[in-house]
Structure 1
Amino acid sequence: MPHTFTAVILAAQRGGRIDPLAAEAGVTHKCLVPILGRPLIEYVLDALIAVPGLERIRVCIEPGAVEAVKRVAGASGERGIPVDYVPSAETITESAYASAEGVEGPIVLTTADNVNLTPGAVLQMLQEIEHGADAVVALASKSSVLASHPEAQRRFYEFSDDAYSNCNLYALAGRQALAMAETFREGGQFAKSPKRMIRAFGLINILLLRFRLISLSGAMKRLSRRFGGRVRAAVLADGRHAVDVDNERTYRIAKLILERKAAGPGVAA
């Protein structure tokens, strides 16, 4: 696997708005919302720090929240890994681009609410980079996600071979892969805009996906040709990776999953 890599944690508020979960918990940012007594971002930090080869962590967040996050993440190097704080931009995509700017070597990106992240998932992403991928997206099959909890996800990407959920985990080979991110610089959740989606992925690719006329591997090949780089999907066996904390419903599900994990193997689902 690559000798070293940089991790980027996207932790800013969407659109500068206070998240409802944060407001209810009495904190400024969702990444500071406690679950089983620990802030969401702490689970992500612990998973990343346990991965061999981690060189540096960059937390992308509004400058006004840095001190609060530092109380969780610790001062730079306190956990054995330097932690930098990058000012967030107007959109998620711009924030990710700014966080990765100037980094040499592989980059792993995730979100601060990805509480079910594991070191094994990160290693799987880095192995894809080692095997020649320029960009990797982590997915979990519908059956594995629903096995973790029947209400874990309600929307899936439907391919001809299976249905998958995004795991909010990505990897880039390095500086040369940053150019692929230019496609998405128009805005954050462009999937809600058909025009933006077509500009990013191409009309034919959207139609193939819409009517389930293409497999996951076929889709990755077509995207690779469109973006001019090798795009791959890492399918994670454990569907819990697709359960992050988006709202009150997923908060309850993530909490239940973490409770089961803490109780150890053998606890009934």
Structure 2
Amino acid sequence: MTAYSLPGFNAHHRINALVLAGTRQGPKDRLAIHGGVSHKALLPIQGVPMVTRVVKTLASLPYIGTISICSEDPSLLQKAELEGYDFITAHSGPSASVLAGLHRLGTPLLVTTADHALLQADWVHNFITLQQKNPTDIAAAITSREHILKDLPFETQRTYLKLADGQFSGCNLFMLNTEKALSVVRFWQKLEAERKNPLKMAQLLGFRTLVLYLVKRLNRKAICQAIQRLTGATAQLTVLDTGFAAIDMDKPADLELADKIFKNNLLNPSLPA
């Protein structure tokens, strides 16, 4: 079994973690309906609720401290056999829930989602190790289209952000290293509030950023510079070398893909059984 360690982190100084397992307000999640469960987070992957897989993966890292599960329903812990773990009541949207997690757990804080069902300790450790080499207030894990095409022998539809330096997909892993990350989360709240108004979102992001994207000159560095300009917080987009990290469970096809990955033993043993 791999021994994971980080310089400066020990029993008295750990990274807390927040797992977002809430359900957006409105109609019941279609994937939860498809799987016949009360919450999408409880969907079984190879017989284990995916939120349980995520939490157990995080718990396998010795420098992870308190793990909080954020949901609107406290009974989720019992249903997922996670009694004893910390619980935070979900708010109206993911950004508000992350803000609540920050106030409760402080920084540094690792954030991921309950539907990150294939999450492995190696990915988390590599993400934290890579972004620590160039410390910033906040970091987000991404992976390239090339890695996804190389790692996944099955046809899969992913959402890509097309930048001047490549096409990338998010990995639902974030590190909030300092209190300045609060300003990024508050800005995220503003964007989330305007998600149905593209013009307003464009105004919030700034004319320069929009023009760079339209003329295909927006790259990762420019995005991080824009974040700093808009929030005062330094940021980085950390590229992971595995395409599997971009897979989350949003639709029935994703469940089928996860099943194929397990049946073909494509993941290494760091994922809990």
Instruction: Give the TM-score normalised by structure 2.
Output: 0.85
> 2:75 aligns to what?
67
- Whole-Å Cα distance in 2 between the matches of residues 191 and 21 of structure 1? 22
Aligned to 1:80: none
Q: Secondary structure at the match of 2:223?
A: helix
Indicate how the Cα distance of structure 1 residues 211 and 250 shifts in structure 2: closer, same or farther if over 3 A, else same.
farther
Q: Is the partner of 1:167 in helix, strand or coil?
A: strand
In 2, are the aligned partners of 1:7 and 1:109 still within 8 Å (CA)? yes
Secondary structure of the residue that 1:184 maps to in structure 2? helix
Aligned: 1:224 with 2:228? yes
Equivalent residue of 1:42, what SS?
Answer: helix
Q: How much does 1:147 deviate?
A: 2.6
TM-score, structure 1 as length reference: 0.86
Offset from partner CA, 1:204-245 (integer Å, 9 cap, x none): 212212332132233323322332121001101000000110
Q: 1:103, 1:175 within 8 Å by CA — same for their partners in 2?
A: no
**1:23 correspondence with 2:26:** no
* Residue 148 (structure 1) aligns with: 151
| Contact kept in structure 2, 1:110 and 1:169, CA below 8 Å | yes
Residues 97 and 178 of structure 1 are in contact (CA less than 8 Å); yes or no, is this contact kept in structure 2? yes
Are the equivalent residues in 2 in contact too, given 1:148–1:257 (CA < 8 A)? no
Aligned length in residues: 257
1:197-216 to 2 correspondences below 5 Å: 197-216=201-220
Letter in 2 for 1:220: C
Among 58, 64, 77, the alignment partner of 1:54 is 64
Whichever residue aligns with residue 232 of structure 1, its letter is: Q
Is contact 2:127-2:240 (8 Å) kept? no
Matches of 1:51 and 1:154, distance apart in 2: 28
CA distance in 1 between counterparts of 2:31 and 2:226 reads: 39
- Structure 2 gap ranges (5+): 1-5
Name the CA shift for 1:99/1:162 in 2 (closer, same or farther; >3 Å): same
Cα displacement (A) at 1:195: 3.0
1:109 to 111, 114, 117: 111
Amino acid in the other structure paired with 1:159: L
- CA RMSD of the aligned region, Å? 2.3
Counterpart for residue 171 of structure 1: 175
Distance across 2 between alignment mates of 1:157 and 1:85: 33
Equivalent of residue 126 in structure 2, options 124, 130, 149: 124
Q: CA deviation at 1:52?
A: 2.5
- 1:134 is matched with 137
Q: Deviations over 1:127-170 (max 9, x none)?
A: 31463211101101011112333533342111112100011111
2:3 is matched with: none
SS of 1:102's partner is helix
The match for 2:20 among 4, 10, 23 is 10
Give 1:53 deviation, angstroms: 0.8
SS of structure 1 residue aligned to 2:236? strand
Q: Distance in 2 between matches of 1:189 and 1:38?
A: 34
Give distance in 1, aligned partners of 2:267 and 2:158. 26
Native 8 Å contact 1:108 1:122 kept in 2: no
2:166 equivalent to 1:158? no
Sequence identity, in percent? 25
The residue aligned with 1:183 is 187
Whole-angstrom CA distance in 1 between matches of 2:253 and 2:192: 23
Q: Does 151-160 or 34-43 show the bigger shift?
A: 151-160
CA deviations 1:189-211 (Å, max 9, x no partner) are 85554234324422221221233
CA distance in 1, matches of 2:44, 2:32: 9
Measured after TM superposition, the shift of residue 261 of structure 1 is 3.2
Distance 1:16 1:202, change over 3 A: same
Task: Write 1 or 2 for the structure with the bigger share of helix.
Answer: 1
- Structure 2 residue aligned with 1:236, among 240, 243, 250? 240
Cα offset for 1:24?
2.7
